[in-house]
Structure 1
Amino acid sequence: MPSVEENKLKKRNKILDAAYNLFAKNGINTTPIDEVVKCAGVAKGTFYLYFHDKYDLMDQIILYKSAAIIKSVIAQMKNINTDNKMEAIDQLTFFVDAIIDYMIENKEMLSVISEKSSILYSLIIDNGDDNIKLDFDYLTDIIVKLGNPPENAKKLLLLVSTMIFTTASNAILSRSPFTIEEIRPEIHLAVKKMLA
């Protein structure tokens, strides 16, 4: 039998998933909370146990979905690099490609989080669980291995993440001024120049 905490997490995740799907389909501004709770199968009061308002919910969706992506990509990296012989720059290239590939395959997510990309990093670092912080530590360690000072690693990760997300989102969603296929090599080059 699930514990009380497991039930709470399940309800919260049902709200997050329902809202994500509705926001992706209809937009955040045209999706009322009533529609979110109906789709999630929970009472409106339950919504307010977990979220202050629709915009707090949006921030939590960004955290929830982004954390899942990052965890998945880092798990893939660790699977490939089991002997720790993969060069830091190759790990970074793998990370960039995996994130871009995920974005291409999940365009609906981009439309949901594109307007909030500037807060993505701080949300994950400040509000993420310890596992997410460990994942970010893994990425900052790669940045340090490339010769960057440890005290600058988080700032560099923010710069690179923002650049990748903004550039790739624009290329994927609007295909203007470049498609993702046209701009991907330059994203790689820019990341290498910034970090190596």
Structure 2
Amino acid sequence: MGKLEINKRQKKSALFQTAFDLFTNKGFAKTTISDIVNQAGLAKGTFYLYFKDKYDLRDKLIAYKAGQLFADAHKALAAREITGFENQMMWMMDYIIERFQKEHTLLQFIAKNLSWGIFKNAFARTVPEESQKFYEYYLEMMKKSAVTCEEPELMLFTFIELVGSTCYNCILFEQPVTMDKYLPYLHKAIHQIFLAYTTS
């Protein structure tokens, strides 16, 4: 990777991190592009090299943060001897839930804002290099376990929507119950989703 490319990635990363801090502390509506570039120590023109506007930045930041989280989960999974596609996906979801329990700011930002459209359209273009192929990892795990799924994308969408929405309320508000109390039921629901979408 050339020096110019490294510099570009560092600037984009600085914009992402600064925007995340401002969006989660000050609020999206109250944060301006000037706030972001000033805090990042960059020129306003630099912002427009990477993003069309504040909304484009938010959408790409959501996918970027989600991509980092999925990559972390996959990396942690690779260090363990867990076999079987369902077991592997269940472990990764538990990893993500534990991270959400420890990092409420991340949960509030990702779970509240992540939609399938943002995930699908922005994911591959915005996440770090090591996590660009999360969907490919997902398909590869399925293939290695000899699991057949006619709609893998739809199944992943269901997992993301279910885990994101239920975790948000259980972790932040303990509604309708705490996350610890809800988790066994979430596992059962995930198992039923596997049964509905797959054959082996």
2:103 to 103, 106, 109: 106
Aligned residues: 192
Find the residue that maps to 2:94 and give its secondary structure: helix
Structure 1 residues 72, 164: CA separation in 2 closer, same or farther (over 3 Å shift)? same
Q: Is the 8 A contact 1:146 1:195 kept in 2?
A: no
Q: Is the 8 A contact 2:171 2:179 kept in 1?
A: yes
Structure 1 residues 58, 6: CA separation in 2 closer, same or farther (over 3 Å shift)? same
Structure 1: runs of 5+ lacking an equivalent: none
Structure 1 residues 87, 147: CA separation in 2 closer, same or farther (over 3 Å shift)? closer
Looking at structure 2, the residues matched to 148 and 16 of structure 1 have their Cα atoms a distance apart, in angstroms, of: 37
Structure 2: runs of 5+ lacking an equivalent: 196-200
Amino acid of the structure 2 residue aligned with 1:37: V
Looking at structure 1, the residues matched to 83 and 183 of structure 2 have their Cα atoms a distance apart, in angstroms, of: 21
State the 1:48 CA deviation.
1.1
State the 1:128 CA deviation.
5.1
Looking at structure 1, the residues matched to 39 and 55 of structure 2 have their Cα atoms a distance apart, in angstroms, of: 18
Q: Is the 8 A contact 2:15 2:37 kept in 1?
A: yes
Structure 1 residues 78, 124: CA separation in 2 closer, same or farther (over 3 Å shift)? farther
- Supply the RMSD in Å over aligned alpha carbons: 2.3
- Structural mapping, 1:1-196, within 5 Å: 3-81=3-81, 86-119=83-116, 120-123=118-121, 125=123, 127=125, 131-143=130-142, 145=145, 147-149=147-149, 151-196=150-195
Looking at structure 1, the residues matched to 16 and 49 of structure 2 have their Cα atoms a distance apart, in angstroms, of: 13
Amino acid of the structure 2 residue aligned with 1:16: F
State the 1:147 CA deviation.
3.8
State the 1:169 CA deviation.
1.5
Deviations along 1:126-162, one digit per CA (max 9) or x if unpaired, are 535675353222223444647442x311110111111
Deviations along 1:33-56, one digit per CA (max 9) or x if unpaired, are 111111111011111111111111
Structure 1 residues 124, 46: CA separation in 2 closer, same or farther (over 3 Å shift)? closer
Find the residue that maps to 1:29 and give its secondary structure: coil
* Identity of matched residues, %: 26
Normalising by structure 1, report the TM-score. Answer: 0.87
Structure 1 residues 34, 54: CA separation in 2 closer, same or farther (over 3 Å shift)? same
Q: Is the 8 A contact 1:15 1:47 kept in 2?
A: yes
State the 1:24 CA deviation.
0.8
